Amino acid sequence: MEIVESFEIRDPVHGFITLDRWEKNIVDHPVFQRLRRIRQLAWTDMVYPGAMHTRFEHSLGVMHIATEMYKQIVKKKKDLLRKKLGFDDSGFARELKLIRLACLLHDVGHPPFSHAGESLMEVNPNTGKRYTHEDYSSAIVKYKLRDVIENHPLNDNYKITVKEISDFLRGSSEAGRLLLWRSLVTGQIDADRADYLLRDSYHIGVNYGSYDLKRLL
């Protein structure tokens, strides 16, 4: 049995978050490292000085929570997923990996000052509306991270493409079966919200974002 190299990052909210070599190489990429300089809550630290956390650790947290959500769903509904959607063990492993990568990169397109900077984004000539950070995240995955994703040695086991991740992030119908899992990233009870509620309340020093994550899972 092959032993997969792993790395741990200590997170104040979730404890240890584990990455494999592929995920670590993505985290080490300059495109992802820029998230260290983008505050999660824009200018909120002007009022709550503890709000110094960034999109960097939030993205790691979203990947971690989405992984736990996915595992619980598969644990409880494995037979249904096999019978109705044709999942096998390799399918479960591949979609978990794609979900992890998508969650890790879901905020990589955020501008300076997070949401406060979105009003300065360019206008999409096809729609007349401003691009969103989701649009930028999708484009960055496709055009800036292609090599570290598609050509990584560990991807020989999955054959994941940047188009799949991009389609998943945009909610495109071309994502196919993967859309089953999109509510883990964007929904009413998703990993994104699950992380920022705990993380924001922790750093700001308030209680109204606290909840029992283990019970939710």
Instruction: Find the mean pLDDT for residues 108-118.
Output: 76
pTM of the model: 0.92
pLDDT of residue 3: 58
User: pLDDT of 38-91, one tens digit each?
Assistant: 999 999 999 999 999 999 999 999 999 999 999 999 999 999 999 999 999 999
Q: How confident is the model at residue 155 (pLDDT cuts 50, 70, 90)?
A: very high
pLDDT of residue 168: 93
Q: Is the pLDDT of residue 1 over 70?
A: no
Instruction: Find the mean pLDDT for residues 192-198.
Output: 96
Give the chain as a 3 state SS string. CCCCCEEEEEECCCEEEEEEHHHHHHHHCHHHHHHHHCECCCCHHHCCCCCCCEHHHHHHHHHHHHHHHHHHHHHHHHHHHHHHHCCCHHHHHHHHHHHHHHHHHCCCCCCCCHHHHHHHCCECCCCCCECCHHHHHHHHHHHHCHHHHHCCHHHHHCCCCHHHHHHHHHCCHHHHHHHHHHHHCCCCCCHHHHHHHHHHHHHHCCCCCCCCHHHHC
pLDDT of residue 131: 66
Instruction: Find the mean pLDDT for residues 114-134.
Output: 74
